[in-house]
Structure formats: C-alpha cells, structure tokens
Structure 1
Amino acid sequence: MGRGLAALAAAVCGLLLQAPAQAAAPHPSWSWEARPAGTDARFRGLAAVSRSTAWVAGTKGTVLLTRDGGRRWRTVSPPGAGGLEFRDVKAFDARHAVVLAIGEGEASRILRTDDAGRTWTEAFRNTDPKAFYDCMTFFDHRHGIALGDPVDGRFRVLGTGDGGRSWHVLPSAGMPSALPGEAAFAASGQCVASSGRHDAWIATGGGAVSRVLHSTDRGRTWTASATPVPAGDPARGVFALAFRDRTHGLAVGGDYRAGQPSPHAAAASGDGGTTWAAAALPPAAYRSGAAWLPHSRTTAVAVGPTGSDLTTDGGRSWHGFDTGSYDTVACAPDGGCWAAGEKGRIARLGRSGR
C-alpha cells in the first residue's frame, strides 16, 4: 500500500477535523517538547540513537541529524536526492545510517552513510517495475530486511548481511500468499519490526482482514495471523508494529482518510504475534506509529496526525496526552523518545519535574 500512501500527505491533513484525542492521560506530566528543524519537509523516517542524537528522513530527499538533543539540526541529505521520498531511516550511531526511498520502479532506493551524512553510497536501486518498497528493520549492525508490497502474489523482502551496504531479494517460497488487495503502509517506517537477532514481523492492511506476518529466521519463512484492527479497504489496516521483546507486541493503525472513524485502532499480542487482542480502550483516531518506552514492560506511546496516546498497561488501554500531528515515533536505549511528522515537526518526549 505504499502506492496508496504516496498521496497520504494530502489526505491526512483533513484528519485534524476528526474528533479530538481522548483526554485525561493517566500521566499528564508527559508532553512533546518541540525541537524545530527549520524546514517544511514531512518526516516519516526517524531513528533515535540517544537523548542527544537522532536522524530524520522525509520529503524532498531531506535527511537531518542532531547531536545535541535537537537544539541544532544539520542537513545531511544525499546529493541529488531532491526528487526522492524518504520514508525510513535506521541508524547504528551518529555516523552510520541507512535511508529508504519509496516509489514505483527505480524510485525505491536504499542509501547508506558511514561518515554522518558527509557522503552517501547507493546500496540498492529497484529495477522491477512491479516492486514498491515501504520500510526496513535491522536485527543487529549487520543483518536487516526491507519490505516491499506483494509481487506476483507474495510480499517482496530484501535482505542484507553487511549493514545495508548491499541487498538481495530473499526467496519467496516461505512467504504466505498475500490476500487480494493486501499490502503494507509506508507511513512511519514501522510496517516491519524486529526484536532480537532473528525475529521480524510485517504489518498489513487493505485485504479482507489486517494481518501480522512473523518470521523467526530473518525473513526466510513467515506465518500469518489475523488481527482485530479493521481492514477491508485500501486505507485501513495495521500501519505500525512495536515489539519490546520477541513475545510482547503492539499494533496500531485504523483508517487514514479524513473524516473516517478508526474503531479498534490498536491491538496487543503476548505470544509473539500468533494471536492479537483488541485494546479495550483504543486511541481515539488513526495512529501511524508506536514505540515502547525503554526499560518498561508496560508503557508505550502511539502517534498520528490528530494526536498522541500513552498506554501504561501493555496496550490494553490508551489515553491521549497531546493533540499535535506526528507520523512516527522512536525510543533510544537511554530513554530518549522522539517523534516527527509534517511541516518539519520534530519533538522529544519530556516529563515535568525531571
């Protein structure tokens, strides 16, 4: 569904007309603290390295890097990338990062830097006109996968074993057949997630049901499970996944179109994605990104164009704490959580009294 989301920027602007986010957060001291970037780019790619270091990637080939907690942002965009739409960035530290651009045919590309964006090397350019890549994840500093929409009835997956310097198409024999209309959403860089050195999960929508596909061998073979997040339409399904370990996961999504309700927009799994339970109190509207707060077994945050929500019970209930527009969210091991979205919006999660 990356193709449908190429037009998402215009559609979701109207989402601000939907019902406001749920009030009365259980911890009202949480808030997003703006870290202005001085650009109007829309950032759907975000990599949180630490409280001080983060990368963002977005429209017009824009890539930014901060090393001082967002007080200053340095433009590190690849030369000649102005026509590319970056939807994901994964960073290993302040010097090494990989970005993914979406689009039909050769517009889907992956680039890597080893010197904090001073130079970039093109690691992959899609030559299959039927392929469209949406997001990527890494298991460690060497091994990763990138997810593409179905080609010939199966999701297309790329693999790397050298930190993203080179990529190859993985065999499709272990991939279940895609449902009619099923695809992934290039909305936040979180349509594929990983935990540990071998486990990965794919989020889908558009088909009769939304599904999560799970691999325990770095993308060679997959099993599929249905989720209670509504699908059945190209605009509906699971948009983002977050796993805090190989057992406990969150799924968020809904309907990204303006004015459309998004009931049951979140679900949780306690068995590695084999089964999913709908949140008893879900977010009030469509959410495109989610992340677990580091060192917590129960607390996570979800973001979307109409606001942000917090769960403190592992995804059973969500409570709104901010009404700003963000598309993606990520947390670093040291506790630094970042969000990014339209019109250059970037923020870091803060808590009063700390």
Structure 2
Amino acid sequence: MRLLAVGMCAAALVGVLAAPAAAEPGGLAAFGAAPGWALKDTGTDARFRGLAAVNRSTAWVSGSQGKVLRTVDGGRTWGDVSPPGAAGLELRDIEAFDARRAVALSIGEGEDSRVWRTEDGGAGWTEAFRNPDPKAFYDCLTFFDPAHGLAVSDPVDGKFRILSTADGGRSWRVLPSAGMPDALPGEAGFAASGQCLVSAGPADVWLATGGGASARVLHSADRGLTWSAADSAVPAGDPAKGVFGLAFRDRAHGLAVGGDYRTGQASPRAGAVSADAGRTWRPSDAPPPGYRSGVAWVPYTRTVALAVGPTGTDVTLDAGRSWRPLAPGSFDTVDCTADLACWAAGEKGRVARLEPGGRG
C-alpha cells in the first residue's frame, strides 16, 4: 500500500505454547522457561518486512535498502545476498523453497514493483518481472508449491490485479480481471509483512484489504481466477486501518490481524477468525491489545498461533478467539516451520527465533 511504502525444541515449543490456558494460572512461565524471542545479529539496520523461514537453520529476510539476507546456521551468521540493482527499493516480501531457491518482491509504483528469483542461495538473481503499468503497485507474494504462485497489486481500474507464475517465478502474466469483485473506494493491500496474500493447499488463496469503508478478505479457490469477498470484522474506514496479515492452517481455518498502523492510535478488534475458508469472520473475543501486522500458526497444533507488531508479540491458545501477551519488542512479520522453529523480523535489522528464555 502506498502509505506504507512513503528454537526451541519441538516438544518444548508445543508443550509450553499449547498447554491449556486453564492449567497455567501463572501464565506460560508456569510450565518452565517461558519462550521468548532470541535476537540474531544481522549486522544491518535495514527494516525486514519480508521473511521466509525454511527450517531451524535456514531463513531469508528482505526489506529496506534493497536488502536480502540469508542464514543457514540458525541465525549465528548472515550473508548479504541482495539482488544487484535493488538498492534503494523496498523488498517487502520473499518466498523461499529451500536454502538455494527464493523469489523476492519489491513494491512501489510502476517499475519499482519487481520480482527477482535465485536458484543458488542468492549468489545470482534474475529479474523475472518489472511492472510496466504506472497505475499498478504490487504488495505481496504467495506460492502454492515451488512452481505455482501469485502476486497482488493494489486496484487498477477498480479491481485488484493478480500476477501469476506456473514455472517457479521464471515468468509472470497478469490474470484476467473478470472474476475479481470491484474494489471499494480507497481500498488497497498493506505491504507490511508479506502476509496480505496467503495460500493453503494447491489452489486456495486469500487477499487482505484495508483503507476502504470496510476491511475485507477476498478468497479464491482456483488460484486467483475467481474471487469472493467477505467483511473481516476488523475496523477500517480510514487509509491506515484494515487487515494487515492473514494465516490459514488449512483451507478452512484462518486468522486475520490488523488495526491502525499509526503510532499511538487505538486498534480495537485487531483480530478475527474464520472457520469456513474466509466466507465469514467474527471478531476475537479478546483481540491483540494493539495493531498487529504479522500472524502465523504453530505447526502441528490446531489452536496455537503468534501475532506480532511494533508493541509486542501475542499468543493464542484457542485458535484466535483470545490473545494474550507473550513477549515485548517490535517485529513486523512472523513465520513458523515444519520442524517447529518460529522466526520474526522487523525494524533496525531485528531478526529473532523463538527460544526458551528469549528476551528480544
């Protein structure tokens, strides 16, 4: 959106986070060393809104100054693998398939919106797409599998624009707009965490919006050809308000977080949940206490997820119905992996992994 452009071991993580709330009158610390963010020194002050966690060892981050960093040793060291020619651009999203293959998106009007692709761990990049339309502004990427992916632009001629690849990001084409509902006046996506466009399974994808009279979640079950729209229950009605991040643990169960990104502004009803593939949403009974831009399910649980924002991290143990503080510290985005590593990234080069006793 234009306004935003200007390890812990597996058993311990699930045990500590997923234990029933009723059994922990003293909070998470009642179950031993409370989990928190352990900061990893990246050696830069870039702001990382793009994050692709592969596993406990490997993660990619992307952000301001055209930066892309990669670690393959759990964050002990980071390599600067930024695409050549990206300096000065905002790389707000990155999707990685392993330690060698990744696709990164820069945002902005016209030619500032670009897609890069690497197959050698960032040693070399190919610019796969450069937006030729001055009216388009791409916000987020998602991939269904290593071959098929989508990117979304803010509305062009009254409709969100969808870019599609079927060859792992080597080539891209704009999808027909006939199956896309009309955008609301002022409606757009937020390029805040790489989570305004997310997918689950081989064909389902969801798009989060804000800025219009209502904050909506659009859903497609056919890889972006046709879409339906639903009110998210997160307040909007202002260019700074709406849904900033989505997460689906399967094609039915989703979480939405957002609020008002302006510092010091209240963000009531900053969380919502869906159990029907995003057809309907209801507000969290106890939402996050402030604006949140990123959200991620903890794998192998049906009820545990994390939400992050500039004022802290929250955890839900009941699938988004209620949230409570987990850790202080500012982060923009969060991602969890199949081997139960949760990573977060944000301002001033901050990247962290969730570990016992972390204080980041």
Do both share a fold (TM > 0.5)?
Answer: yes
The whole-number CA distance in structure 2 between the counterparts of 1:264 and 1:89 is 28
Match of 1:12 in 2: none
Which deviations, in whole Å up to 9, do the C-alpha atoms of 1:36-92 show, x marking residues without a partner?
A: 101000000000000110000010110000000000001101122112110000000
Write the mapping of 1:184-203 to structure 2, written as runs, cut at 5 A.
Answer: 184-203=189-208
Match of 1:342 in 2: 347
Give yes or no for the alignment of 1:280 onto 2:281. no
The whole-number CA distance in structure 1 between the counterparts of 2:137 and 2:222 is 23
The whole-number CA distance in structure 2 between the counterparts of 1:204 and 1:314 is 22
- Following TM superposition, where does structure 1 have runs of at least 4 consecutive aligned residues deviating by more than 3 angstroms? none
The whole-number CA distance in structure 2 between the counterparts of 1:206 and 1:81 is 28
Normalised TM-score (structure 2): 0.92
> Aligned partner of 1:27: which letter?
L
Write the mapping of 1:83-98 to structure 2, written as runs, cut at 5 A.
Answer: 83-98=88-103
The whole-number CA distance in structure 2 between the counterparts of 1:258 and 1:337 is 26
Write the mapping of 1:175-186 to structure 2, written as runs, cut at 5 A.
Answer: 175-186=180-191
The whole-number CA distance in structure 1 between the counterparts of 2:42 and 2:322 is 33
The whole-number CA distance in structure 1 between the counterparts of 2:232 and 2:84 is 41
Give yes or no for the alignment of 1:290 onto 2:292. no
Write the mapping of 1:138-217 to structure 2, written as runs, cut at 5 A.
Answer: 138-217=143-222
Which deviations, in whole Å up to 9, do the C-alpha atoms of 1:313-338 show, x marking residues without a partner?
A: 00000011111000000111111110
Write the mapping of 1:173-322 to structure 2, written as runs, cut at 5 A.
Answer: 173-322=178-327
Which deviations, in whole Å up to 9, do the C-alpha atoms of 1:124-146 show, x marking residues without a partner?
A: 00010000000010000100000
Give yes or no for the alignment of 1:126 onto 2:125. no
> Aligned partner of 1:280: which letter?
D
The whole-number CA distance in structure 1 between the counterparts of 2:27 and 2:147 is 40
Identity %: 66
Which deviations, in whole Å up to 9, do the C-alpha atoms of 1:277-314 show, x marking residues without a partner?
A: 10111111000000000111000000001100000000
Aligned pair partner of 2:79 in 44, 62, 74: 74
Q: Once the 2 structures are TM-superposed, how far is the Cα of residue 25 of structure 1 from its aligned partner?
A: 8.4
Match of 2:114 in 1: 109
Give yes or no for the alignment of 1:3 onto 2:8. no
The whole-number CA distance in structure 1 between the counterparts of 2:83 and 2:265 is 37
The whole-number CA distance in structure 2 between the counterparts of 1:135 and 1:129 is 17
Question: Is the 1:26–1:319 Cα contact (8 Å) retained in structure 2?
Answer: no
Match of 1:27 in 2: 28
Match of 2:13 in 1: none
Q: Once the 2 structures are TM-superposed, how far is the Cα of residue 352 of structure 1 from its aligned partner?
A: 5.1
Give yes or no for the alignment of 1:42 onto 2:33. no
Q: Is the partner of 2:57 in helix, strand or coil?
A: coil
The whole-number CA distance in structure 1 between the counterparts of 2:189 and 2:28 is 33
Q: Is the partner of 2:38 in helix, strand or coil?
A: strand
Q: Once the 2 structures are TM-superposed, how far is the Cα of residue 26 of structure 1 from its aligned partner?
A: 3.7
> Aligned partner of 2:135: which letter?
K
The whole-number CA distance in structure 2 between the counterparts of 1:242 and 1:307 is 18
> Aligned partner of 1:297: which letter?
R
Which deviations, in whole Å up to 9, do the C-alpha atoms of 1:175-222 show, x marking residues without a partner?
A: 000001110000000001100000000000011111000000000000
Question: Is the 1:282–1:318 Cα contact (8 Å) retained in structure 2?
Answer: yes
Normalised TM-score (structure 1): 0.93
Q: Is the partner of 1:103 in helix, strand or coil?
A: strand
> Aligned partner of 1:96: which letter?
R
Return 5+ residue gaps in structure 1 as ranges: 8-23
**What is the alpha-carbon root mean square deviation over aligned residues?**
1.2
Match of 1:136 in 2: 141
The whole-number CA distance in structure 1 between the counterparts of 2:110 and 2:28 is 46
Match of 1:330 in 2: 335
> Aligned partner of 1:105: which letter?
G
Give yes or no for the alignment of 1:58 onto 2:63. yes
Question: Is the 1:25–1:310 Cα contact (8 Å) retained in structure 2?
Answer: no
Q: Is the partner of 2:28 in helix, strand or coil?
A: coil
The whole-number CA distance in structure 1 between the counterparts of 2:300 and 2:37 is 19
